[in-house]
Amino acid sequence: MWCSTLFTSILAAAATVDAYGIKKHVNYEVVTGVFKQDDAATEASSFNFTAENFGLIERKYPSDWTYWLQKPTSWQRLNRYIESLNLKAKHNERYTLLFLGRHGEGYHNAAETYFGTPAWNCYWSEKDGNSTVTWADAHLTPKGVAQAQDVNKFWKKLLTKEKIAAPQSYYTSPLFRCLDTARLTFAGLPLPKTRPFVPTIKEYFREGISAHTCDRRSTKSYIHANFPTYRFERGFAEHDPYWTALHAEPAADQDIRSKTVLDDVFASDRGTYISVTAHSGEIASLLRVLGHRVFGLSTGAAIPVLVKATTVVGSAPATSTLPYAPQKTCAVPPAIRDSSCNDCSCCT
Ligand SMILES: *[C@@H]1O[C@H](CO)[C@@H](O)[C@H](O)[C@H]1NC(C)=O
Ligand SMILES: *[C@@H]1O[C@H](CO)[C@@H](O)[C@H](O)[C@H]1NC(C)=O
């Protein structure tokens, strides 16, 4: 049974692009040499960010000077370095440290592993679940909860022992697995009173919008009932305006909206330390927009990116969008288990 009756199709993705009405846009560059993740020699698939102090490279900074007399931690020296960069920056430039976190394992992740990718993509993912498990706007599995709790312990150590600068603001995708991962990651931490954990939910930090029901968000009332302290960005609709049954957002559109939402954050938020909780595909898209190399994150993993942002007047170069593309499905799950037929050419 398809979900096409739940929401009317919105094929005009173009209408969403200027949702934030931005007249200026931002050019992003990654400040390399600070984190191991932007070094081509670092293998993403085996990289354990909690065992590696978030990937922070042990190095000297020009701003160290006599600061070492105070026996600062490496994170305190980095914070001072970022401060010094911002003091010297031109009026339209700034340096911001982004913490991009992927949600812990959700029931949709577990289901894809269970059914195999072809059967998942071409059959099961378009359903809300089976008789025992729901994966529409998937919740975290017990493993996903444990992953987020591990990251919470890691942040506790960073804040108390490493004296990392706490995020000044928090953003999250509107999908349940991210809302819950952000809560579990930052709950009960010794955060500064001036920087409480009050995330803002932003539509465009959501995952690439496929026909999978795990990409359809819940209603605003449901989100509010479950996460009463979270803020919604302006204009956040009661029902998901973007998910479209049996249609998928083209990849190019995702990068355009990733840039739009980043530009919106940089236009409205003067913070130097910003946390975003999102998805594997969306973080990959954000990294492309930021000019970072490809760095895949497993469920529950996070990556820091030191960004130089330069605000320029005018529209972003790529602002046109393609319509959502119809997504192929199979009437019965394909038997093949490897990922050789993700276009559903193996339907039987
Ligand atoms: C990563 O390292 C942490 C701390 O050293 C350890 O507890 C955890 O099990 C490791 N995770 C993986 C997936 O190996
Ligand atoms: C439903 O799917 C899950 C995988 O997410 C699986 O563990 C479970 O056994 C399935 N239930 C039935 C009744 O097949």
Of the candidates 199, 201, 200, the one whose C-alpha atom is nearest the C-alpha of residue 186 is 199
73-82, 199-208, 210-219, 329-338 — which is least confidently predicted? Answer: 329-338
Of the candidates 146, 204, 220, the one whose C-alpha atom is nearest the C-alpha of residue 180 is 146
Confidence of residue 20 (pLDDT cuts 50, 70, 90): low
In a domain, 339, yes or no: no
Model confidence pLDDT, tens digit, residues 213-242: 999 999 999 999 999 999 999 999 999 999
Cα–Cα distance, 249 to 244 (Å, whole number): 9
Which atom of ligand 1 is nearest the CA belonging to 298?
13
- The CATH number given to whatever domain includes residue 303 is 3.40.50.1240
In a domain, 40, yes or no: yes
Domain ranges, residue 243:
4-326
Q: What is the pLDDT of residue 191?
A: 98
Which atom of ligand 2 is nearest the CA belonging to 131?
13
State the residue for tokens 């173009």: 14
CA–centroid distance, 132 to ligand 2, in Å, is: 6
113 CB less than 6 Å from ligand 2? Answer: no
Number of separate domains in the chain: 1
In the beta sheet, which residues pair with residue 201? 172, 232
Model confidence pLDDT, tens digit, residues 59-73: 999 999 877 778 999
Three-state DSSP state, 197: coil
In a domain, 244, yes or no: yes
- Determine the average pLDDT of the residues in 5-24: 39
Burial (CB count <10 Å: 0-12, 13-18, 19+), residue 258: buried
Q: What is the pLDDT of residue 76?
A: 97
114 CB less than 6 Å from ligand 2? Answer: yes
Per-residue pLDDT at 30 exceeds 60:
yes
Per-residue pLDDT at 162 exceeds 60:
yes
50 CB less than 6 Å from ligand 1? Answer: yes
Q: What is the residue with the minimal CA distance to atom 14 of ligand 1?
A: 48
93-97, 108-112, 302-306, 332-336 — which is least confidently predicted? Answer: 332-336
